[in-house]
Amino acid sequence: MTVLPVLSGVAENPSAVQQVVVLSRTGDVAFRSANADHAGAVSAFEAAAAERLGTLRSTLWLSQLRHMTRFLGSQRSAPRWAVDDLIDLHEFALTEIVPELPIPADSEFNRIQVARLSATLSVLRDAPGTDAHEDVALSLPVPAPTAASRSL
């Protein structure tokens, strides 16, 4: 697991940071320190990042990602930074959220989720514009079920 650069900075120069707050994946405070006493921040971050979201929270996370993507795709154009953030979130969904779901890796649900996320990620990566302040015209795919299937 990669420790965030800011946490590495805390370890190297604790007096440069006034306060450290580490949130768990569920949004709860996993660690809080004030002043220069940041011992344990890195281990608290690693423990919080290693927690599983669970079925309900993972499903809600994927649903919110779809809503954000659909909203951004409905706009005439989007800021480059927003597209870059969506790229990061789709990559995270593919590498962290979907694999954590308590479903078989070879299930139809898993295949559909990976295909849907990968298709949207491909469109986002191909979006023109490199300047963070440049607006990007988007044409995102609208997911439609190919056949009746059970939901999670």
User: pLDDT tens digits for 11-24?
Assistant: 676 677 777 888 88
Residue 48 phi, psi dihedral angles, 5° rounding? -65, -40
pLDDT digits 0-9 by tens, 103-148: 898 999 999 999 999 999 999 998 875 555 556 666 666 555 566 6
Closest of 74, 66, 75, 70 to residue 113, by C-alpha: 66
Owner of token pair 């302040």: 133
User: Tokens standing for 30?
Assistant: 């996993």
As beta bridge partners, residue 79 has: 135
> Rounded distance, CA 77 to CA 103, Å?
36
Indicate the pairing of strand 29-34 with strand 78-79. Answer: unpaired
The domain locations on the chain are: 5-50, 55-136
Whole-number percent of the chain with pLDDT over 70: 71
Return the number of other C-beta atoms located less than 10 Å from residue 38's C-beta. Answer: 21
Beta strand extents in the chain (DSSP E only): 19-23, 29-34, 78-79, 135-136
Q: Which of 56-65, 67-76, 93-102, 142-151 has the lowest mean pLDDT?
A: 142-151
pLDDT value of residue 1: 47
pTM metric for this prediction: 0.66
pLDDT value of residue 152: 53
